[in-house]
């Protein structure tokens, strides 16, 4: 089981290394989307400070959505998804390996870049580090929950737009507590609740999402 997990993870990372443009595209998308907001609401720093955490969180969320289709789609098209199912290893474990790789490739870079974008919105050092923390807790949840949608729409017409319709309602709680923590901190409120709920959501999605994804994959292959 451990060997299979590692071999899936290695394969994904090697593939990403061969196709770096994918990662870079997501990052540029993040940068450009969040830079659009000052143009829309004006350069007033006090306004930007208030909307900053929300904008960055929405940006991260859109990036996650944009990258989602790559989690299983190519594997579905080239037949390697069948190998995962027929390996005899627990599919949930392999699914976690794939999503971990996906998060390392598309989620983590976004988290790392986010504080720099936060600077554009005049966020303080304390807010920036909190933003980094909530993104670290929250973006894996986005990847896990989003992958359910990606697996359900495998081989279905509609692609990314359909996945977004399915998944965005489930993103709402993550967004509320992720961006909410930074805002609450700015208002001088306690953020312990936010952080523990984000952690709870992470645990819950690690435990449950792979089950849903594994069944969705089996259904897609029939």
Partner 1 sequence: MATFFFLVAAILTVWGLYIGFFVAPTDFQQGESYRIIFIHVPAAWMSMLIYLVMSFWAAIGLIMNTRLSSMMAHALAPTGALMTFVALWTGAFWGRPTWGAWWVWDARLTSELILLFLYIGYMALRASIEDPRRGDRASAILALVGVVNVPIIYFSVQWWNTLHQGASVSLTKSPTMATSMLTGMLVMALAFWMYSIAVSLMRVRRIIRDREGNATWLSESSGVQ
Partner 2 sequence: MLQIQNLSFARGKNVLFENLNFSMTEGDAMRVTGSNGSGKTTLLRIVSGLCRPDNGAVVWHGAVAQKNESEFVRSVNFLGHDDGLKKQLTATENLKLMLPLLGASPTDIEISAALDAAGLEAVKHKPVMNMSAGQKRRVALTRLDFMRHRVLWVLDEPFTSLDVSAISALVVKLRAHIESGGVLIFTTHQDFDVVPEASSLSLD
The footprint of partner 1 (CB under 8 A) covers 148, 152-153, 156-158, 162, 165-170, 172-173, 176-177, 180, 184, 189, 197, 201, 208, 212, 215-216, 219-220, 222
Cα separation, 187 vs 200, whole angstroms: 24
95, 217 Cβ separation under 8 angstroms: yes
Q: Using the structure block, give the residue that is written with the tokens 């050092």.
A: 125
Q: Which is nearer to partner 1, 114 or 148 (CB)?
A: 148
Candidate residues 3, 39, 40, 192; the one interacting with partner 2 per rule CB under 8 A: 3
Q: How far is the CB of 107 from partner 2 (least distance, A)?
A: 21
Q: How far is the CB of 85 from partner 2 (least distance, A)?
A: 6
Q: Which is nearer to partner 1, 17 or 165 (CB)?
A: 165
Q: Which is nearer to partner 2, 8 or 182 (CB)?
A: 8
Q: How far is the CB of 30 from partner 2 (least distance, A)?
A: 24
Reported as half-sphere exposure (CB side, CA atoms, 13 A), residue 140 has a value of 22
Q: Which is nearer to partner 2, 96 or 201 (CB)?
A: 96
Cα separation, 146 vs 30, whole angstroms: 17
Q: How many Cβ atoms sit within 10 Å of the Cβ of residue 36?
A: 11
Chosen from partner 1, partner 2, none, partner binding at 53 (C-beta under 5 to 8 Å by type): none
Q: Which is nearer to partner 1, 131 or 151 (CB)?
A: 151
Q: How far is the CB of 154 from partner 1 (least distance, A)?
A: 9
Q: 157: alpha, beta or left, given left = phi > 0 and alpha = psi -120 to 50?
A: beta
Q: How far is the CB of 81 from partner 2 (least distance, A)?
A: 8
Q: Per CB under 8 A, does 222 bind partner 2?
A: yes
Q: Where are the alpha helices (DSSP H) in 69-191?
A: 73-78, 80-86, 91-102, 108-120, 125-152, 159-186
Cα angle for residues 52, 57, 61 (degrees, 5° grid):
150
């Amino acid at each position: 089981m451990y060997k299979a997990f590692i071999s899936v993870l290695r394969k994904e990372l090697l593939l990403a290394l061969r196709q770096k443009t994918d990662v870079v595209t997501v990052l540029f998308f993040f940068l450009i989307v969040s830079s659009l907001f000052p143009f829309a609401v004006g350069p007033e720093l006090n306004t930007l400070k208030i909307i900053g955490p929300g904008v960055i969180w929405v940006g991260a969320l859109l990036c996650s959505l944009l990258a989602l289709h790559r989690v299983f789609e190519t594997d579905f098209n080239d037949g390697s998804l069948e190998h995962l199912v027929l390996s005899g290893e627990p599919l949930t474990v392999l699914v976690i390996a794939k999503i971990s790789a996906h998060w390392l490739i598309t989620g983590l870079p976004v988290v790392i870049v986010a504080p720099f974008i936060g600077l554009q919105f005049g966020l303080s050092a304390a807010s920036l580090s909190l933003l980094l923390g909530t993104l670290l807790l929250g973006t894996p949840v986005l990847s896990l929950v989003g992958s359910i949608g990606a697996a359900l729409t495998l081989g279905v017409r509609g692609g990314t737009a359909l996945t977004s319709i399915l998944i965005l309602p489930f993103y709402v709680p993550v967004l509320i507590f992720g961006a909410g923590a930074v805002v609450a901190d700015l208002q001088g409120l306690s953020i312990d609740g936010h952080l523990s709920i984000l952690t709870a959501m992470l645990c819950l999605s690690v435990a449950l999402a792979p089950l849903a994804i594994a069944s969705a994959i089996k259904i897609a292959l029939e």
